[in-house]
Amino acid sequence: MEILYSNIQGKGKPLFILHGFLGMGDNWKTLAGKYADEGYEVHLIDQRNHGRSFHSDEFSYPVMVDDLKRYCAHHNIDNFALIGHSMGGKTAMCFASQYPTMVNKLIVVDIAPKSYPQHHQDILKGLSALNFNKIDSRSDADTQLKEYVSNLGIRQFLLKNLYRKEKKQYALRLNLEALIVNIEEIGEALPFDALYEGDTLFMRGERSGYIQTLDEIVIQKQFPKAQFVTISKSGHWLHAENPDEFFEKSLAFLKN
């Protein structure tokens, strides 16, 4: 069975970080260095069909939980702290509820256990429309993507997936085909009987609407020890938009 790709930084207590949809572990590199300086062995993990991890036609939270379980066995780790952003936060919640003794601290970044409607259509159209025969540089790709995605920050995030497959040929690390076919899986809610009774922190962006006040009621049923913090001056990518406050508040929770 294939094992997820990871970049491991530092030595100490294991801390796993799971990126969001269309992202990769590398998005968290700067923060990983800061956690490593605080005595953590940080595992920046690429989930299946993302980054440098394997491609598969199968894509859902149950299979991503299995991937993570295999990763733990491969690295001989049976207890760790877990941070997950957006899609990675859903994987993290599912994993913690299935294997509660393995997760000593859970941080869920800007996602609730509820179902979300599909809203990545324009991004996926734009990525699918990239004509690699006419892309000789990152700025060429950006120009093409701009027709579908007006936000520069989001385009820069997406284009981190661009790499040179051969000397003169660019490609995307994403398994775009499988992600499009299985797109409805991303918004899936946690099973209603999922429960994790360990220490949990839900972090949301001040300008993000992903976790509403009403969601807290459901969250506390499934995560009875849930605490909530809001990161100022940030939206859905709070760890990138306000990394200092994010780091300070997440570290305080991890160390407490």
Instruction: Give me the catalytic one of 86, 208, 234, 250.
Output: 86
User: Nearest CA to 20 among 206, 160, 196?
Assistant: 160
Catalytic residue check, 137 = no
Catalytic option among 43, 50, 236, 239: 236
Tell me the C-alpha distance between 41 and 8, whole Å: 7
- Amino acid letter at 242? N
- Is residue 20 helix, strand or coil? coil
- Decide: 15 and 40 in contact? Cβ < 8 Å: yes
Task: Give the number of C-alpha atoms closer than 13 A to the C-alpha of residue 110, restricted to the C-beta side.
Answer: 25
Which residue, 60, 85, 80, 112, is CA-closest to 15? 80
Cα(110)–Cα(95) distance, rounded to whole angstroms? 17
Task: Locate all alpha helices (DSSP H) within 7-151, ordered by sequence.
Answer: 29-37, 61-75, 87-98, 121-129, 138-146
DSSP sequence for 135-200? -SSHHHHHHHHHTT---HHHHHHHGGGEEEEETTEEEESS-HHHHHHTGGGGGPPPPTT----S-E
Buried b (16+ CB within 10 A) or exposed e, 2-11: eebbbbebbe
Respond yes or no: is residue 86 known to be catalytic. yes
Q: Which residues are catalytic?
A: 86, 236
